[in-house]
Amino acid sequence: MSSIVRQSAGFVRIARYSRYIATRRGLQTPHLLRAAAAVRPANAPRYYSTSNQPPNQDGDEKKVEDAAKKPQIQSTHSPGPTGAKAHESSTQENDDSLPLPEGWIRVSKEDFQQIEKILENGPIYLPEREKLLVKEIRRTGVPRELFEVAMKKQAGTFGMSDIGSLLKGVNKLAWRLAELDAENKNNNTDSSRPSRSYQESSSQRSSKEEENKREESEQTHDDTQKPKFEESHFKSNLKPNPSGGNNPFKGNDWLSTVIATAVAYYLYSSISEETGREITWQELKKNFLDKGLIEKMIVRGHTVFVELDRDATRSMYPESVATRPGFNYYFSIASVDAFERRLEEAQNELGIPSSDKIPVSYAGESNFMNLLLAFGPTVLLVGILIYASRRTPGAGGSNGIFGFSKSKAKRFSHETTIKVKFSDVAGMDEAKQEIMEFVSFLKKPERFQRLGAKIPRGAILAGPPGTGKTLLAKATAGESGVPFFTVSGSEFVEMFVGVGASRVRDLFATARKNAPCIIFIDEIDAIGRSRGESQRFGGNDEREATLNQILTEMDGFNTSEQVVVLAGTNRVDILDKALMRPGRFDRHINVDAPTMAGRQDIFKVYLKKIVTNEDIEYLSGRLASLTPGFAGADIANCVNEAALIAARGNAATITLQHFEQAIERVVGGLERKSLVLDPIEKKTVAYHEAGHAICGWYFRYADPLLKVSIIPRGKGLGYAQYLPGDAYLMSYNQLMDRMAMTLGGRISEELHFPTVTTGASDDFSKVTSMATAMVTQWGMSDKVGPLYFKNDEGKIHKPFSETTGQTIDAEVKRIVEEAYKQCKELLIEKKKEVGIIAEELLRKEVLVRDDMVRLLGPRPFDDRDDFAKYFGEEAKKPPTNPTESPSPSPAIFQKLEGKDMR
Ligand SMILES: Nc1ncnc2c1ncn2[C@@H]1O[C@H](COP(=O)(O)OP(=O)(O)OP(=O)(O)O)[C@@H](O)[C@H]1O
Residues 279-294: pLDDT tens digits? 888 888 888 888 888 8
Q: If DSSP states are collapsed to H, E and C, what string results for 560-628?
A: CCCEEEEEEECCHHHECHHHHCCCCCCEEEECCCCCHHHHHHHHHHHHCCCCCCCCHHHHHHHHHHHCC
Q: Are strands 142-143 and 104-105 parallel, antiparallel or unpaired?
A: antiparallel
Q: Are strands 458-462 and 563-569 parallel, antiparallel or unpaired?
A: parallel
**Is 220 in a helix, a strand, or coil?**
coil
Smallest CA separation from ligand 1 atom 26, residue: 465
Q: How high is the ipTM of this complex?
A: 0.97
**Which of 470, 634, 635 to mutate for ligand 1's pocket (most ligand atoms within 8 Å of CB)?**
470
Question: Is the CB–ligand 1 distance for residue 469 below 6 Å?
Answer: yes
User: 467 in ligand 1 pocket by Cβ < 6 Å?
Assistant: yes
How close is the Cα of 491 to the center of ligand 1, in Å? 20
Q: Rounded to the nearest whole angstrom, what is the distance from the C-alpha of residue 601 to the centroid of ligand 1?
A: 14
**239 phi and psi, to 5 degrees?**
-70, 140
Q: How does pLDDT run across 98-149, given as a tens digit for each residue?
A: 777 878 887 777 777 777 776 665 555 555 555 566 677 777 788 888 788 7
Expressed in angstroms and rounded, the spacing between residue 590 Cα and the centre of ligand 1 is 14
745 lines ligand 1 (CB under 6 A): no
Cα 861 to the center of its chain, rounded Å: 67
What is the position in ligand 1's atom list of the atom closest to the CA of 523? 27
Q: Determine the Cα–Cα distance for residues 495 and 522; give it in Å rounded to an integer.
A: 20
CA dihedral of residues 808, 809, 814, 815 (deg, nearest 10): 70
Tell me, using a 6 A CB cutoff, whether residue 425 lines ligand 1.
Answer: yes
Q: Is the CB of 633 under 6 A from ligand 1?
A: yes
Q: Is 648 helix (H, G, I), strand (E, B) or coil?
A: helix
Please tell me the residue having the least CA distance from ligand 1 atom 25: 465
Using CB atoms within 10 A of its CB, is residue 775 exposed (0-12), middle (13-18) or buried (19+)? Answer: buried
Cα 472 to averaged position of ligand 1 atoms, centre (Å): 8
Question: What proportions of the chain, in percent to the nearest 5, are helix, strand and coil?
Answer: 55, 10, 35
Whether residue 609 has pLDDT greater than 80:
yes
Assign 541 to helix, strand or coil.
helix
Any atom of ligand 1 within 6 Å of the Cβ of 637? no
> Ligand 1 pocket, 694 CB below 6 A?
no
Out of 467, 596, 630, mutate this one to test ligand 1's pocket (max ligand atoms within 8 Å of CB): namely 467
Residues ≥6 apart with Cβ < 8 Å to 2:
none
DSSP per residue, 845-859: SEEEHHHHHHHH-S-
Measured from the Cα of 474, ligand 1's closest atom is 18
pLDDT top residue among 717 and 76: 717
**C-beta neighbour count of 189 within 10 angstroms:** 9
Helix boundaries (H) for 190-253: 196-219
Q: Give the distance (Å) from ligand 1 centre to CA of residue 211.
A: 104
Q: How would residue 397 be classed by pLDDT, with cut points 50, 70 and 90?
A: very low
Which region, left, alpha or beta, applies to residue 567 given φ > 0 means left and ψ of -120 to 50 means alpha?
Answer: beta
**In testing the pocket of ligand 1, which one of 417, 433, 471, 523 has its CB within 8 Å of the most ligand atoms?**
471
Nearest CA to ligand 1 atom 23: 466
**Contact at 8 Å (CB) between 676 and 889?**
yes
Ligand 1 within 6 A of CB of 852: no
- 617, pLDDT greater than 90: no
Q: Say if ligand 1 is within 6 A of residue 636 CB.
A: yes
**Of all atoms in ligand 1, which is nearest to the CA of residue 570?**
25
Task: Please give the sequence-ordered ranges of beta strands (E in DSSP) within 309-436, or none if there are none.
Answer: 328-332, 360-363, 410-412
User: What is the percentage of the chain residues whose pLDDT exceeds 70?
Assistant: 65
- Is 570 touching ligand 1 by the criterion CB < 6 Å? yes
575 has a pLDDT exceeding 50: yes
Reported as a pLDDT band with limits 50, 70 and 90, residue 270 is: low
Q: Is the CB of 427 under 6 A from ligand 1?
A: yes
Give me ligand 1 centre to Cα 825, in Å. Answer: 46
**Protein residue with least CA distance to atom 10, ligand 1:** 632
Task: Count other C-beta atoms under 10 Å from residue 816's C-beta.
Answer: 20
Top-confidence residue, 162 or 423: 423
Q: Residue 77 carries which DSSP code?
A: -
pLDDT grade for 830, boundaries at 50, 70 and 90: very high
Mean pLDDT of 594-610: 88
Exactly one of 523, 544, 689, 845 is catalytic; which is it? Answer: 689
Is there an atom of ligand 1 within 6 Å of 471 CB? yes
Looking at residue 513, its pLDDT comes to 83
Catalytic site includes residue 689:
yes
Positive or negative, the Cα torsion across 183, 188, 194, 199? positive
Distance from residue 652's CA to the centre of ligand 1 (Å) = 29
Instruction: Identify the residue with better confidence: 467 or 799.
Output: 467
**Cα 469 to ligand 1 centre (Å):** 6
What is the position in ligand 1's atom list of the atom closest to the CA of 464? Answer: 25
Give the residue, by CA position, lying nearest to ligand 1 atom 29: 471
With a 6 A CB cut-off, is 465 part of the ligand 1 pocket?
Answer: yes
Closest C-alpha to ligand 1, atom 24: 465
Instruction: Report which ligand 1 atom has the smallest distance to the Cα of 461.
Output: 21
DSSP state of 240: P
The pLDDT assigned to 83 comes to 39
Q: Does domain 273-365 have CATH number 3.40.1690.20?
A: yes
Task: Tally helices (H) and strands (E) across the chain.
Answer: 34, 16
| Whether the predicted pLDDT of 265 surpasses 80 | no
> Which strands sit side by side in the sheet containing 587-590, from one edge to the other?
410-412, 484-488, 517-522, 563-569, 458-462, 587-590
**Ligand 1 pocket check for 522: Cβ under 6 Å:** yes
C-beta 604 within 6 A of ligand 1: no
User: Residue 836: its pLDDT value, please?
Assistant: 93
The alpha carbon of 889 and the centre of ligand 1 are apart by a number of angstroms equal to 36
The fourth-level CATH superfamily of domain 679-871 is: Peptidase M41 (1.20.58.760)
SS3 assignment, position 417: coil
Architecture of domain 414-590: 3-Layer(aba) Sandwich (3.40)
Determine the distance separating the centroid of ligand 1 and the alpha carbon of 663, expressed in angstroms. 18
Q: Is 428 in the pocket of ligand 1 (CB under 6 A)?
A: yes
CA 405–ligand 1 middle distance (angstroms): 30
How far away, in angstroms, is 480 Cα from ligand 1 center? 19
Angle among Cα 710, 715, 717 to the nearest 5 degrees reads 20
Asked if 746 contacts 763 with a C-beta cutoff of 8 angstroms, the reply is yes
User: According to the per-residue pLDDT averaged within each range, which of 99-103, 270-274, 340-344, 741-745 is highest?
Assistant: 741-745
Residue pLDDT, tens place only, 29-63? 333 333 333 333 333 322 222 333 333 444 444 44
Report the distance separating Cα 302 and Cα 764, nearest Å: 85
* Residues in CB range of 738: below 8 A, 6 or more apart: 701, 702, 703, 730, 770, 897
Q: Is 632 in the pocket of ligand 1 (CB under 6 A)?
A: yes
CB 729 within 8 A of CB 692: no
> Cα(600) to centroid of ligand 1, in Å?
15
Give, using CA atoms, the residue closest to atom 11 of ligand 1: 633
Longest dimension (CA), the chain: 154
601 Cα nearest atom in ligand 1: 3
Most confident of 317-326, 621-630, 686-695: 686-695
**For range 160-165, the mean pLDDT:** 71
Q: What is the CATH number of domain 596-668?
A: 1.10.8.60
Strands 458-462 and 587-590: parallel
| CA-atom Rg of the chain in angstroms | 53
pLDDT-based confidence at residue 749 (cuts at 50, 70, 90): very high
Q: Tell me the mean pLDDT in the region 836-859.
A: 88
Expressed in angstroms and rounded, the spacing between residue 611 Cα and the centre of ligand 1 is: 22
- Report which secondary-structure segment, H or E, holds 745: helix 732-752
263 falls in which pLDDT band (50, 70, 90)? low
